[in-house]
Amino acid sequence: MESNAKNDDPISLMFQGFLGESPSQSRILANDWRKFEIAPNTLWEKFKSSSLESSLEQTGRMAVNDEDSVKTFLQGTRGGVVLLTIHMGDFLHGILKLSGLSHRRNVLVMRRREPSKEELKMFNKMASFGHRITVISHDSSSLKSAIKMLRRGAIFVLLHDLSREWGKTIPVKAFGHTLQWVSGPIEIAILGKSCVLPFYCFRDAGIHHCQVEPIRDYRAISYVPREQFVRKEVQNLVSLSERYIRRYPSQWSHWPLIPKMLQG
């Protein structure tokens, strides 16, 4: 019978407690997670330091399911679109890939603090497709402006695998536990009368994938988000996210947030 080693780290213990993996397999997954997350050649570092040409080459190699249909939607709709994902796989190039399939728009990105020069360089890669990039802060006046821009047809890039440090949370079921998960991205999408395009990035058999899930259309909703409706929508997206995380656990960056999500 396997026993937990005293030096088991928190990530390994989470793979045991949340995924039901054995201690030995959890240690293997934890090592894989560290290689993916901490190594000097992380995808974040590559994206930050690479040239525009290099990034465009990477997006060209990225596999998107039903790419023609996604492009038709992004080219055809004049309403706002929320590109919604989690911190998993090469999500940065996934964002770049999908933004490149759209007609020219205002593209909104959200930061809690003033973006660095390197971050602005990353954001401006989307401008190569003709988009106008606007960095949105977390204050209420900026969010009201973002909602107005969504209603006028902007793209808003949002990530939703976050704890209460990033805003209001609601309880959801995930990995056999109750977690506090941010609800803001869905509320913004609803108030912006927009469509949400959920997508997930991962590497499989040496190929980077951007898997687009069915669109969630909030354009016809005419009332302020009600808690029950928002809770259901957030739960649906969390359950969808859980399926991908379970399939590629070492490629999800935000395992360290789980303790904070448990605390609420």
- Residues in the chain predicted with pLDDT less than 70, given as ranges, are 1-7, 39-41, 223-225, 264
Q: Give the pLDDT of residue 227.
A: 82
Q: Walk me through the domains of the chain, giving residue ranges and CATH numbers.
A: 40-263 (3.40.1130)
**Measured distance CA(238)–CA(226) in Å, rounded:** 18
Instruction: Give, in order, the Cα–Cα distances in Å from 162 to each of 47, 61, 209.
Output: 22, 29, 22
3-state helix, strand, coil in the chain (%, to 5): 50, 20, 30
26 close to 16: Cβ distance less than 8 angstroms: yes
**Measured distance CA(104)–CA(125) in Å, rounded:** 13
Question: 52: Cβ–Cβ under 8 A, 6 or more apart, which residues?
Answer: 125, 128
Give alpha helix (H) positions in 199-254.
227-247
**Measured distance CA(15)–CA(112) in Å, rounded:** 29
Q: What is the CA radius of gyration of the chain?
A: 19
Q: Give the pLDDT of residue 47.
A: 80
Residue 231: name the closest of 177, 176, 187 by CA: 187
211: enclosing H helix or E strand: strand 207-212
Q: Give the pLDDT of residue 64.
A: 98
- Cα dihedral 33, 180, 238, 86 sign: negative
Residue 202 C-alpha from the chain's centroid: 12
Q: Give the pLDDT of residue 5.
A: 43
